[in-house]
Amino acid sequence: MRKIFHEIVSLDDAKSILWQNFNFTPIGVEEVAIGEAHGRVLAEDIIAAIDVPPFDRSTVDGYAVKAEDVFGAYEDRPVKLKVVGKIEAGDIPRVEVGYGQCVEIATGAPLPRGANAVVMVEFTKRINDELFVFKPVSPGENVMSAGSDIMIGEKIITKGKVLTPREIGVLAALGFDKVKVYAKPKVAVISTGNELVKPGRPLEPFKIYDVNSYAIASSAMEDGCEIISLTYAPDDEQKILDVVSSALEKSDVVLISGGTSAGAGDLVYRVLEKLGEVLVHGLAVKPGKPTAIAKCRGKLVVGLPGYPVSALMIYNVLVSPALRAMAGKALERRSFVKAKMAIRVSPSRGRREFLPVSLVLKDDGSISAYPLTGGSGAITTLSLADGYVEISEDVEYVDEDEEVEVRLFGEMIKPAEMTIIGSHCIGLEKLVEKLAIRGFKEVKLINVGSTGGLHAIKRGEADIAGTHLLDEVTGIYNIPFVERYGLKDVLLIEGYLREQGFILAKGNPKNIKSWEDLLREDVYFINRNKGSGTRVFVDLNLKKLAQERGLSFDDVVKMVRGYSFEAKTHSAVAAAVAQGRADVGVGIRSAASMYGLDFIPLTVEKYDFVVRKSSLKKSAVKEFIEILKSSSFKEELEKIPGFKALNPGNVLLEK
């Protein structure tokens, strides 16, 4: 029987219910060796039982002296002293420094009795047992006094501190070989679904690799937990019940992904009802509506959505604070920055939305936020995101250039060495790979289509934009659009040629040969996203077809089954055809080749680069152009099916 969501609750209400029903405090204390304490949370205040350093010691190589003996020392009037001994680090000082005397001393060695300063060896000259000093020192100079770093009885590290190499070094300096830390909460992670395959095994048709188990487990470990099991369960109620029951016996918290929405095949809710009390079933948020919170045998069980972005976002805002509290960690305080939305966004009304964004620093210091709209099933959305924007339930839209508050995933924005915004291309990815080999690893690549790339150049957000826009009037690629968009202080640099055509199932079973065939009832088409160069090419040819038939463009579009079915990349078009979700799409030959599909060439297009002149001073941009011009890149590029380079790096237009 299909289970409809219980009352959908707001995120704030869900947090209140969660914290009212559980006592999220550290679960225990254990003692570990300091060599195994990295990343653990300290469960006791550390009080120094000794001074550090425990004796006065030299901070340089030189000679221990009485400062008053060398007050008058200068380069032209050196002071002569008698060397009466030598002390190395670790030695017990058995010599005393009298007036007119000195002792050779190593860095870290204890200061001998009678000395109150150290002259650096660089300002001395020694002849046998006579030392000539050319520079005066003051009392205490080049000496670290006992207790000057840490004093006995001083509280050095407070309870609740996460132990890093710095704290562990201090513990060692104080003589600790063991330390008390909070016990790690034991967490069991379970993924459900007949479609899941464990990474490392062959991927069968229409199956997907299990992302959530590993992503959620890594998140929990980062929050101070111990993962006691990573388990998979098929869509079978009894098997899910058995797996969850077993997990409850040996864990403190159970996290389940998938099987929580109100579909006929979603079984986790029924399992949780049998094992305990379901406190929440359904959140008024996007992504993350199918979230369940239950109390089973007194333990927390959270049913997370099946899509990776949904699961990780809900984990971050709902589960992470609870686990951190159980691990003794401070609740994470994420940093915020103000940014302007790069494009207009229309969220779902009635639900709070968490929108992942990629941030771009502009020349004037302002920040633009690019929404990452890969969907809650796209794990790359989070890997590319710098943070997210929280949009409240009553907001109808966020306008372009509207200021928003971005909650960062890290502590700060890491400026990219170069930002490339525009059309997706395999050749461009090869260029970025070569940049990484040469040391430029912080290159931000945002695929928003050719038109979006030109807008980003105009707004000063991109250093480089990849574009392949065909002007339907002149038949010329890219150059007319630099003029049309009013781009200034830019260069249009020649890239390379790409063969575009129909991507078809192997053997072309539908016998598709021309644009006319897209109007057939038995043909299903997959389109490209608005703003992409391929979409412009598709629409141009459909307009020609409409003119030939004496129809309007809208009439022809209505006849193309799948016209509104959009893919963001050439690979996505090929994948849709390979999986039988479409019969034909338009893309580059290399995408068809990767999937073993048929290809009918339609045109050779120019993929070029618009570069802001102000960005030419950046080392990464200079290197990008050098690689583009290189014969090695040309050779590698032309190994990709359908790619050819003529004069890459040549300036086609300067504005």
Tell me, what's the pLDDT at 373? 66
Tell me, what's the pLDDT at 374? 59
Query: How big is the chain by its Cα radius of gyration, in Å?
Result: 34
Question: What is the pairing mode between strands 276-281 and 336-341?
Answer: unpaired
| Rounded Cα distance, 655 and 602, in Å | 32
The domains found in the chain, sorted by start residue, are 11-26+184-326 (3.40.980.10), 29-52+149-182 (3.90.105.10), 57-144 (2.170.190.11), 336-415 (2.40.340.10), 443-654 (3.40.190.10)
- Please say if the pLDDT value at position 1 is more than 50: no
Tell me, what's the pLDDT at 182? 96
Tell me, what's the pLDDT at 625? 96
* Range name among 120-129, 175-184, 563-572 with the lowest pLDDT average: 563-572
Q: Is 557 exposed, middle or buried (0-12, 13-18, 19+ CB in 10 A)?
A: middle
Averaged pLDDT for residues 355-380: 77
Tell me, what's the pLDDT at 265? 39
- Cα angle 146, 147, 150 (rounded to 5 degrees) comes to 145
Answer with the residue of higher pLDDT: 494 or 347: 494
Averaged pLDDT for residues 553-562: 95
- When pLDDT is cut at 50, 70 and 90, the band that residue 207 belongs to is confident
Q: What is the DSSP string of 358-410?
A: EEEE-TTS-EEEEE--S-TT-THHHHH-SEEEEE-TT---B-TT-EEEEEESS
| Rounded Cα distance, 253 and 41, in Å | 19
Tell me, what's the pLDDT at 410? 65
Judge whether 281 and 300 are in contact, CB under 8 Å. no
- When pLDDT is cut at 50, 70 and 90, the band that residue 313 belongs to is confident
Tell me, what's the pLDDT at 2? 39
- When pLDDT is cut at 50, 70 and 90, the band that residue 6 belongs to is low
pLDDT digits (tens, 9 = 90+) for 467-484: 999 898 898 999 999 989
Strand partners, 101: 82
Averaged pLDDT for residues 326-330: 90
| Rounded Cα distance, 504 and 619, in Å | 42
Tell me, what's the pLDDT at 379? 61
Averaged pLDDT for residues 123-139: 96
Cα–Cα distances in Å, from 601 out to 538, 587, 589?
A: 13, 10, 8
| Beta strand ranges found along 468-597 (DSSP E) | 490-504, 525-528, 566-567, 584-588
Residue 27 φ/ψ, nearest 5 degrees: -85, -10
Tell me, what's the pLDDT at 411? 60
State whether the Cα torsion 284-285-290-294 is positive or negative. Answer: negative
Tell me, what's the pLDDT at 68? 95
pLDDT digits (tens, 9 = 90+) for 382-439: 667 888 898 988 888 899 889 999 988 766 667 788 999 998 888 999 999 999 999 8
**% of residues, the chain, pLDDT over 90:** 65
Q: Is 418 helix (H, G, I), strand (E, B) or coil?
A: strand
User: Token pair for residue 385?
Assistant: 């995101």
- Please say if the pLDDT value at position 332 is more than 70: no
Which distant-in-sequence residues (6+ apart) come within 8 Å of 582 by Cβ? Answer: 524, 525, 526, 562, 565, 573, 576
Q: pTM of the entire structure?
A: 0.71
Question: What is the pairing mode between strands 566-567 and 525-528?
Answer: parallel
Q: Is 640 helix (H, G, I), strand (E, B) or coil?
A: coil
Tell me, what's the pLDDT at 412? 66
Strand partners, 86: 104
**Mean pLDDT over all residues of the chain?**
90
- When pLDDT is cut at 50, 70 and 90, the band that residue 78 belongs to is very high
pLDDT digits (tens, 9 = 90+) for 148-161: 888 888 888 989 99
| Rounded Cα distance, 652 and 473, in Å | 19
Judge whether 488 and 553 are in contact, CB under 8 Å. no
* Range name among 83-87, 304-308, 493-497, 650-654 with the lowest pLDDT average: 304-308
Averaged pLDDT for residues 368-387: 71
Q: Which value, to the nearest 10 degrees, does the dihedral of the CA atoms of residues 143, 149, 151, 156 take?
A: -170
pLDDT digits (tens, 9 = 90+) for 516-542: 999 999 999 999 988 788 998 999 999
| Rounded Cα distance, 315 and 168, in Å | 30
Tell me, what's the pLDDT at 542? 96
pLDDT digits (tens, 9 = 90+) for 13-72: 999 999 999 999 999 999 999 999 999 999 999 999 988 899 999 999 999 999 999 999
Kindly state the DSSP code that residue 122 receives in the 8-state scheme: G
